[in-house]
Amino acid sequence: METLAMHISNGIINGPVAGVFAAVALAALTFCVLRGRRDLDDRLAPMAGLVAAFIFAVQMLNFPIFTAGVSGHLLGGALAALLVGPWVGALCVSVVLIVQALVFGDGGVAMLGLNITNMALLGTAAAYLLIAGLLRVLPRTPAGLAVTAFVSALVSVVVASQGFVVQYWLGGTTDLGGNLTGLAGTMAGVHLLIGIGEGLITATTVATVAKVRPDLVYALRALKPATAPAPVPAVGGVR
């Protein structure tokens, strides 16, 4: 049951699969660095540091789920995507995961590629795709931003958990007896509860920032609202 925690420990996934995902994570993070450099400015750089510190703090707070020896924590992908964008956001979460693995032993060092893929890449990407869609239909007010933050955080946590299910299917070291569907359902249910908590924290944080300094919210600056085409004035009568 310990495998249900989002940080994958050494030995849960076999070496070849872990190596493949390490290469995937490295390639994706390199791309994020190249794209993120375009976004960095006097506002985004200090905000990225604050976001990484906040995610680090909340991820260190593990809490039990039911009585099965399963622990969960917040991921922070949606918060990072909203405040600093998908590219820098993925880098912030990755830095947190690397420090936790190397310094605190939270997640196996050999499993870093797997953990980064799930929490930093899949989680942040799923969150930002939802953010981009929701902000086109919801009002760009603190309330609309709070709804966007809650939904994107909730979905991103569940998506990240299903990334682990795929990885376990590819290279899990314990035979589940063909019960992969059961693993997927358990992971989704557990992380749905975690996602609700993360959604509430993300919504409160982002809405507070938007009220005080809306210019610091990357999603409001970068994502343009949907606009209807301007009417063409009639000139010279009707033909």
Mean pLDDT, contiguous 10-residue spans, the chain (239 residues): 59 91 96 89 86 87 51 81 94 93 85 93 95 92 92 94 90 76 85 90 93 90 64 49
Give the whole-angstrom CA distance, residue 193 versus residue 151. Answer: 13
pTM of the model: 0.85
Residue 229 has a pLDDT of 47
Give the whole-angstrom CA distance, residue 184 versus residue 106. Answer: 22
Compute CA 122 distance to the chain's CA centroid, rounded to the nearest angstrom. Answer: 7
Residue 150 has a pLDDT of 96
- Residue 93's nearest CA partner among 48, 159, 61, 131 is 48
Residue 174 has a pLDDT of 78
Please name the residues in contact with 118: beta carbons below 8 A apart, sequence gap of 6 or more.
6, 8, 160, 161, 163, 164, 167
Residue 116 has a pLDDT of 94
Range 15-221 has CATH code 3.30.450.40: no
Residue 127 has a pLDDT of 96
Give the whole-angstrom CA distance, residue 120 versus residue 80. Answer: 10
Using the Cα atoms of residue 80, residue 95, residue 123 and residue 61 in order, give the sign of their dihedral: negative
Contact indicator for 121, 87 with CB cutoff of 8 Å: no
Residue 72 has a pLDDT of 61
